[in-house]
Amino acid sequence: MIYMIEDTINGILMGSIYGLTALGLTIIFGVLKVINFAHGSLLMVGMYAAYWAVALTGLHPYLTLVLVVPVMFVFGYYLQDIVIQPIFRAEKNVREPITVIIVTTGVWYILDNLTLLVFGPHYRTIQVNPLRGRMLEIGGLMISVPKLWGFVSAMVAAAAVYVFLQRTRMGRAIRATSLDRDAASLMGINPYKVYNVAFGIGTATAGIAAVTLVPFYNVFPTVGVLFDIKGFIIVVLGGLGSIGGAILGGIIIGLIESVGPQFMTATWTEAIVYGLFLLVLFVKPAGLFGVKYDW
Amino acid sequence: MKILDVREMTKTFGGLTAVDGLGIEIETGQILGLIGPNGAGKSTAFNCIAGVFPPTGGEIYFNGEKINGVKPWTLCRKGLERTFQIVKPFASKSVLYNVMVGAFAVTDKTAEAEAEALAVLKSLHFESRKDVRAGNLTIADRKRLEIARALATRPKILLLDEVMAGLRPAEVDEMVAIIKELRDRGITIFVIEHIMRAIMALSDRIVVIHFGRKIAEGTPDAVASDENVIKAYLGEEYVVS
Amino acid sequence: MKPEKINRIALVLLSAAALGLPLVVRSATYLHILVLLYFYAYLTTCWNLVGGFAGVLPLGHAAFVGIGAYTSTILSLQYGVSPWLGMIVGGLLAAGVGILIGLPTFKLRGAYFALATIAFSEGLRVMVENIDRLGPFTINGPRGLQIPPLDTGLTNFMFAGKEPYYYSILVMLAGVLFLTYRISRSKLGYALNAGGEEPEAAMALGIDVARTKLIAMALSSFLTALAGTFYAQFTLYIHPKSIISLDLSFEIAFIALIGGRGSIAGPVLGALLLRPVSDFSRIYFGDTLPGMHLIIFGVVLILVMNFQPRGLQEPLTRLYQKVVNRLFHWGALEAAR
Ligand SMILES: Nc1ncnc2c1ncn2[C@@H]1O[C@H](COP(=O)(O)OP(=O)(O)OP(=O)(O)O)[C@@H](O)[C@H]1O
Ligand SMILES: [Mg+2]
């Protein structure tokens, strides 16, 4: 019984981190209407950034946020501005920007394999790690401290993005563009600028996720692929474009992964996740929570 | 005989009632004009009739058959065809290709579709442009392409949504002549238009809607002098070109 | 000479070259590379039926390759069914799956279809990796299936040398290219192109867009699965990681987009240009610069999408047409003299 509770808590914590990794995916889709296949790779870049920040400066892992998040924002901003935007413009009249989707796949391949070339295939873990294996004991329950912090940062990040979109001028411009790009541009909003910012924000949230992962997760060139596919599933479960849905979708996946192995071999839980995804696509494509866009 | 009979048709989007209890009847072979200020619900009415979405309430009869919620491709095969206010050419394809897509609604053979498409292009004095990529056409030619494609499906009734918007006066005259010719070929025409001169010259009868509701109906002259219509348009900048 | 005649001559020359190539290329390694090149060209041409004509983005075609390979292999290893028959069974199975994926997703935004294909393909891989036996069938999990090279011969779809495989895949490629050509000039082809480009206009013109996409998807999955059987018979060893891999699915899509999706020559052209890049970079940089070819793919993809969104097929076709016109005029001048 105690294991069951522990697994449940662990599933929620890890799941919220999954949700955090998918948050940027859902933001970018909400605005650009494009699945960013490079999102996992952006997470990977963030993890390398956090790793090297710790290794070179000896900072506390969480303090690297002040470095990683701005760097990731700028990286995402210019990635969209320089690489993706021209293709958007070329495909302006096309309803489904397939070429844009596939170009993000190209970015994925380039980032992953460049990292492989530069840093090699090794698994890296940070050496100066005050959080390694830290556990919190509550009434016999063992809870991982870095995952708990991951949960907290997921909630804070999701709330912050939500408030930003609701309350700020830029946030409103982003929402307007998301609803109707053409109408927004008639009202004097430059949609491409908005795309840049949305991409930057999405990438920055991947940076936050990266920082929370680095204390307890290996860093290697293809680490993003794991989270990529999970992210796709999460955003569809939660409803493409929904912020709350991303976090909830993440928690569902986390729960299946951590509670599932009590009843079956761990790899089967993976198959269940795919099955659930296809099931949702069949019966409730707007996502489990039925929200199309909550902003 | 009534080819189209719309009764008490209503369409709501969330809280907004775009079409409100609209009734419209069209006799076979007529040209019926539909006018109204911007956002009056004209295109929405077309979309309901043409099966883009089902109306929220009311009934639509086409040749006596109820067609609420019938899909656009089925309606097309039955002979009810429409054009789009915002033209939707298959931009990467040639004009001929575009029209052949329509012609395939009446034949399965490529050679026949091509012959049919060429005949339609010819009847619209458009065959010289058959190899031009549709994305490179001028706005007037795009509108004409929109009509050509629709004609190739051999419609009984044709719903035209602002096919003259953005055209120069000479082009408008040409379009009026084309539409009259279509009617003479036996095609019933249901036309939305902002250009008053054109709609007055074309229509046998005109229906005026405002906020989704019918406010007047009758011959062009009767409608033009109707008090309600003048009120609805007051302050509206409609084109009197 | 008339341009049509020049085209026909070019086609004949090209076919003759393809048929005669094994007489010149004697090295087994190079023949192997050529077979894989045609294999990819075949897969991409199948992909193009949905990804090109129907205007959606399938990213899990490896699943159909896997279904084809596993079906025919299991049937022939465990039940003595000829791979040729197994090939058809696999194809039908794949077509059914393709329809199942398309049914709910073709009505939604394109992203859903793309994601569904990925999820199905990855889900299938995970399942195959986890299943040793499925009812009466031995699947062998991650270890995969080995086909013992017993009786060679056409009935067993198994040959000692590479040449018969070369001709098999060449015939398959020619067949699927011809089919694509016929479809592109048929009602179905027009409907697919129209529905892919402007679905609302297509619907108004009498096209049930979702249904035509389903037809294309079924056809594409069926044909793709046939190549799976070919691959199994060619390599005599299949395992889930190599055959139901996302890398394969993505490589197909890359080849199509760089070559030019929605055109007939595009997929073949893409394979001709990209396969050598990946083969040679694997041979020469495999140890020193791993993943080099994927970086090249990515960069080429981004550049091509930027400057030739319709793929390299377009400028090359234009060039070819120019040459043909030259020949035509030159021929006319000669005749006049
Ligand atoms: N799909 C939709 N969803 C929500 N609201 C819609 C939709 N389509 C139209 N509307 C709204 O319904 C109302 C009627 O629009 P409609 O396009 O029918 O007007 P119209 O008479 O054709 O105007 P115009 O002359 O400008 O073309 C408008 O307020 C519009 O914003
Ligand atoms: Mg309108």
pLDDT given at position B67 = 94
Domain annotation covers residue A48: yes
CA distance C187 to C216: 12
Ligand 1 contact via B155 beta carbon (within 6 Å): no
pLDDT given at position C337 = 74
**pLDDT band at B240; cut points 50, 70, 90:** very low
Answer whether residue C56 shows pLDDT above 50. yes
Chain C nearest C-alpha distance from B205 (Å): 26
Ligand 1 contact via B44 beta carbon (within 6 Å): yes
CA distance A119 to A105: 21
Q: Which among A110, A141, A94 has a CA at the least distance from the CA of A37?
A: A110
Domain count along chain A = 1
H-state helical runs in C148-291? 163-184, 187-197, 199-204, 209-235, 240-243, 246-259, 265-285
Ligand 1 atom closest to residue B36's alpha carbon, by position in its atom list: 21
- Give C254-303 as a DSSP string: HHHHHH-TTSSHHHHHHHHHHHHHHHHHHHHHTTTSTTHHHHHHHHHHHH
Ligand nearest to the CA of B36: 1
Q: Which among C72, C40, C74 has a CA at the least distance from the CA of C277?
A: C40
Residues of A with CB under 8 A from a CB of C: 29, 33-35, 83, 86-87, 90-91, 95-96, 98-99, 101-103, 105-110, 112-114, 116-117, 121, 229, 232-233, 236, 240, 265, 267-268, 270-271, 274-275, 277-278, 281-282, 285
- C234 touches C38 (CB < 8 A): no
* Cα separation values, C334 from C320, C321, C327, C328, Å: 21, 20, 10, 10
Domain annotation covers residue A112: yes
More reliable by pLDDT, A181 or C128: C128
**Neighbouring chains to B with at least 3 Cβ pairs closer than 8 Å:** C
Give the closest residue (by CA) to ligand 1 atom 3.
Answer: B13
Give B205 Cα–ligand 2 centroid separation in angstroms.
19
Helix, strand, coil tally for chain A in percent (to 5): 75, 5, 20
- B20 touches B27 (CB < 8 A): no
CA distance C143 to C238: 9
Residue range B164-190: mean pLDDT, rounded:
91
Ligand 1 contact via B13 beta carbon (within 6 Å): yes
User: Which of C190, C211, C214 to mutate: most B Cβ within 10 Å?
Assistant: C190
Choose among C187, C197, C205: nearest Cβ to B76.
C205
Residues from chain C that touch A270, judged by Cβ atoms under 8 A, are 126
Residue range B196-221: mean pLDDT, rounded:
91
pLDDT given at position A146 = 86
Tokens 């003048």 identify what position?
B230
In tens, the pLDDT along C279-294 reads: 888 778 777 777 788 8
Which two tokens mark B96?
A: 């001929």
Contact C197 B90 (CB under 8 A): yes
Ligand 1 contact via B39 beta carbon (within 6 Å): yes
pLDDT given at position A295 = 44
Tokens 């004097």 identify what position?
A188
- Residue B139: CB atoms within 10 A of its CB come to 13
Residue range B179-192: mean pLDDT, rounded:
93
Contact A109 C295 (CB under 8 A): yes
- B68 touches B49 (CB < 8 A): no
Q: Residue C324, CB half-sphere, CA atoms under 13 Å: how many?
A: 16
Which two tokens mark A242?
A: 């929904």
Q: CATH number of the domain at A134, please.
A: 1.10.3470
- Of the spans A263-277, B50-64, C9-23, C110-124, which averages the highest pLDDT? B50-64
Interface confidence, given as ipTM, is 0.90
Domain annotation covers residue A288: no
CA distance A146 to A131: 6
Pairing of strands B57-62, B2-13: antiparallel
- Of the spans A91-105, A126-140, A204-218, C275-289, which averages the highest pLDDT? A204-218
**pLDDT band at B157; cut points 50, 70, 90:** very high
Residues from chain B that touch C107, judged by Cβ atoms under 8 A, are none
Q: Which are the contacts of A220, defined by CB distance < 8 A and separation ≥ 6?
A: A121, A122, A123, A124
Give B43 Cα–ligand 2 centroid separation in angstroms.
4
pLDDT given at position A93 = 62
pLDDT given at position C206 = 95
Give B155 Cα–ligand 1 centroid separation in angstroms.
25
CA distance B152 to B116: 7
Sheet holding B157-161, edge to edge: B80-82, B157-161, B188-192, B31-35, B205-210, B213-218
Choose among C104, C290, C299: nearest Cβ to A285.
C104
CA distance A8 to A257: 10
Which two tokens mark C217?
A: 């998807």
Burial of B51 per CB tally in 10 Å (0-12, 13-18, 19+): buried
Domain annotation covers residue A187: yes
Which two tokens mark B118?
A: 């060429």
Q: Which are the contacts of B224, defined by CB distance < 8 A and separation ≥ 6?
A: B196, B200
Which two tokens mark B27?
A: 């006799």
CA distance A113 to B87: 44
Return the H-helix or E-strand segment holding B198: helix B196-202
Contact C203 B153 (CB under 8 A): no
Domain annotation covers residue A84: yes
Residue range A68-92: mean pLDDT, rounded:
90
Give B31 Cα–ligand 1 centroid separation in angstroms.
23
Give B51 Cα–ligand 1 centroid separation in angstroms.
16
- Give B32-72 as a DSSP string: EEEE-STTSSHHHHHHHHTTSS--SEEEEEETTEE-TT--H
Residue range B71-86: mean pLDDT, rounded:
94
Tokens 């908005």 identify what position?
A194
More reliable by pLDDT, A184 or A62: A62
Domain annotation covers residue A290: no
Residue range B106-131: mean pLDDT, rounded:
93
* Cα separation values, A22 from A111, C145, C250, Å: 18, 36, 21
pLDDT given at position A291 = 57
* Cα separation values, A216 from A51, A126, A145, A146, C229, Å: 11, 9, 10, 7, 43
Answer whether residue C69 shows pLDDT above 70. yes
Give C19 Cα–ligand 2 centroid separation in angstroms.
59
Contact A281 C105 (CB under 8 A): yes
CA distance B141 to B95: 10
Domain annotation covers residue A295: no
Residue range A128-148: mean pLDDT, rounded:
81
**Amino acid letter at A108?**
W
H-state helical runs in A120-222? 145-167, 169-179, 181-186, 191-213
pLDDT given at position A36 = 92
- Of the spans A63-67, A121-125, A225-229, C227-231, which averages the highest pLDDT? C227-231
pLDDT given at position B241 = 39
CA distance B241 to B170: 11
Which two tokens mark B190?
A: 């249901």
Ligand 1 contact via B36 beta carbon (within 6 Å): yes
Residues from chain C that touch B76, judged by Cβ atoms under 8 A, are 203-206
Answer whether residue C7 shows pLDDT above 50. yes
Ligand 1 contact via B43 beta carbon (within 6 Å): yes
Establish if B125 touches chain C: CB-CB under 8 angstroms.
Answer: no
Answer whether residue A43 shows pLDDT above 90. yes
CA distance C17 to B186: 58
Rounded mean pLDDT of chain B?
A: 90
- C69 touches C157 (CB < 8 A): no
pLDDT given at position A176 = 86
Contact C204 B90 (CB under 8 A): no
What is the radius of gyration, based on Cα positions, of chain C? Answer: 21
Residue range A57-69: mean pLDDT, rounded:
90
**pLDDT band at C27; cut points 50, 70, 90:** confident
CA distance C189 to C181: 9
Structural domain range at position A153: 2-283
- A131 touches A117 (CB < 8 A): no
Choose among B50, B91, B104: nearest Cβ to C190.
B104
Helix, strand, coil tally for chain B in percent (to 5): 40, 25, 35
CA distance B29 to B1: 9
CA distance C281 to C239: 24
All domains of chain B in start order, with CATH? 2-234 (3.40.50.300)
pLDDT given at position A293 = 46
SS3 assignment, position B226: coil
**pLDDT band at A101; cut points 50, 70, 90:** confident
Q: Residue A147, CB half-sphere, CA atoms under 13 Å: how many?
A: 20
Establish if C208 touches chain B: CB-CB under 8 angstroms.
Answer: yes
- A112 touches A225 (CB < 8 A): yes
Which two tokens mark C157?
A: 């779809």
Tokens 């793929």 identify what position?
C311
In tens, the pLDDT along A209-254 reads: 999 999 989 999 999 988 988 898 998 888 888 888 899 999 999 9
SS3 assignment, position B181: helix
Residue range A171-180: mean pLDDT, rounded:
85
Contact C123 A275 (CB under 8 A): yes
Residues from chain B that touch C207, judged by Cβ atoms under 8 A, are 73, 101, 104-105
- What φ, ψ does residue B157 adopt, rounded to 5°? -130, 140
Establish if B88 touches chain C: CB-CB under 8 angstroms.
Answer: yes
Answer whether residue B226 shows pLDDT above 60. yes
pLDDT given at position A96 = 61
Contact C206 B150 (CB under 8 A): no
Structure letter (DSSP) for residue A61: G
- Of the spans A66-75, A180-189, B120-129, which averages the highest pLDDT? A66-75
Residue range C253-268: mean pLDDT, rounded:
92
Rounded mean pLDDT of chain A?
A: 87
Answer whether residue C263 shows pLDDT above 60. yes
Residue range A130-143: mean pLDDT, rounded:
80
Domain annotation covers residue A291: no
**Neighbouring chains to C with at least 3 Cβ pairs closer than 8 Å:** A, B
